[in-house]
């Protein structure tokens, strides 16, 4: 399997940012949590992991500990079930891309692009994606991603990332450009800069 995974050129990123600023799009950046682990390992040569013979893996209590509050109850149940299936001394084949594994970046990049395509985006340059109006063909959303860091702009960018977050688990969203209300209550005063972190889930 090819292992090359490109990243957007700095010139393409500048053009994308300039376009978003000209269109006065709110802009958001997001990171993907455990990015590579969300991609299926499709390499012919699989990575094998041996579980030590001595008992070092923890058992998970029935009730989710508060230290693991960032995980949903459903995610905790999955991990707890998987732990019970593991046996000391056994060797297991991974089914997810691992950091440092052959082709992991390529596998994640392919998944990320596929999910964007299903949301109506087209890739016009390496890792630069556009969504167009159906009738006018005008670009109404831009997203680019150097591997697992995403940034984009659109009038409905929060909704876009919300939908994307159901396909790839996003750790956080940070608004980097938006609007705030003026003294009359109209939201027409542009704001540029890093905003407080917005919770995704």
Distance, CA of 137 to CA of 36 (rounded, Å): 33
pLDDT of residue 201: 31
Q: What is the pLDDT of residues 91-138, one digit of tens each?
A: 888 877 777 777 788 888 888 999 999 999 999 999 999 999 999 999
pLDDT of residue 5: 67
Q: How many CB atoms lie within 10 A of CB 115?
A: 16
10-40+101-176: which CATH number, 3.40.462, 3.30.70, 3.40.50, 1.10.10? 3.30.70
Classify each residue of 46-58 as buried b or exposed e, where b means 16 or more C-beta atoms within 10 Å of its C-beta: ebeeeeeeeeeee
pLDDT of residue 69: 84
Q: Which two tokens stand for residue 163?
A: 């939908």
Q: What is the largest CA-CA distance in the chain?
A: 68
Helix (H) or strand (E) holding 172: strand 170-180
Flag whether pLDDT at 154 surpasses 60: yes
How would residue 192 be classed by pLDDT, with cut points 50, 70 and 90?
very low
Give the three-class secondary structure for 115: helix
40: which DSSP letter? B
User: Does residue 33 or residue 14 have the better pLDDT?
Assistant: 14
Q: What is the pLDDT of residues 38-61, one digit of tens each?
A: 888 777 777 788 888 767 777 888
What mean pLDDT do residues 61-68 have?
88
What mean pLDDT do residues 3-12 have?
80
CB contact at 8 A, 106 and 1: yes
What mean pLDDT do residues 134-161 have?
93
Q: Which two tokens stand for residue 115?
A: 């999910």
Residue with tokens 């750790």: 171
Sign of the torsion formed by the C-alpha atoms of 123, 127, 132 and 138: negative
Distance, CA of 56 to CA of 66 (rounded, Å): 22
Q: Where in the chain is the domain with CATH 3.30.70?
A: 10-40+101-176
Most confidently modeled range among 40-44, 156-160, 183-187: 156-160
Q: Which of 93-97, 110-114, 164-168, 190-194 has the lowest mean pLDDT?
A: 190-194
Distance, CA of 8 to CA of 46 (rounded, Å): 29
42: which DSSP letter? -
Please state, rounded to an integer, the average pLDDT across all residues of the chain.
Answer: 81
**Any alpha helices (H) in 23-149, and if so which ranges?**
73-85, 104-118
What mean pLDDT do residues 138-161 have?
93
């Amino acid at each position: 399997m090819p292992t090359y995974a490109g990243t957007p050129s700095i010139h393409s990123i500048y053009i994308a940012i300039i376009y978003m600023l000209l269109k006065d799009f709110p802009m958001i950046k997001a990171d993907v949590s455990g990015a590579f682990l969300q991609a299926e390992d499709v390499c012919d040569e699989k990575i094998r992991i041996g579980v030590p013979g001595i008992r070092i893996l923890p058992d998970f209590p029935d009730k989710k500990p508060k230290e693991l509050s960032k995980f949903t109850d459903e995610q905790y149940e999955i991990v707890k079930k998987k732990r019970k299936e593991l046996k000391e001394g056994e060797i297991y084949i991974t089914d997810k891309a691992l950091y440092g594994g052959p082709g992991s970046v390529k596998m994640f990049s392919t998944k990320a692009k596929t999910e964007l395509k299903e949301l109506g985006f087209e890739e016009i340059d390496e890792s630069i994606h556009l969504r167009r109006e159906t009738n006018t063909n005008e670009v109404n959303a831009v997203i680019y991603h150097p591997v697992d860091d995403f940034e984009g702009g659109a009038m409905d960018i929060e909704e876009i990332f919300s939908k994307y977050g159901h396909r790839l688990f996003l750790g956080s969203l940070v608004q980097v450009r938006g609007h705030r209300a003026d003294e009359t209550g109209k939201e027409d005063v542009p704001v540029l800069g890093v905003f407080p972190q917005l919770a995704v889930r």
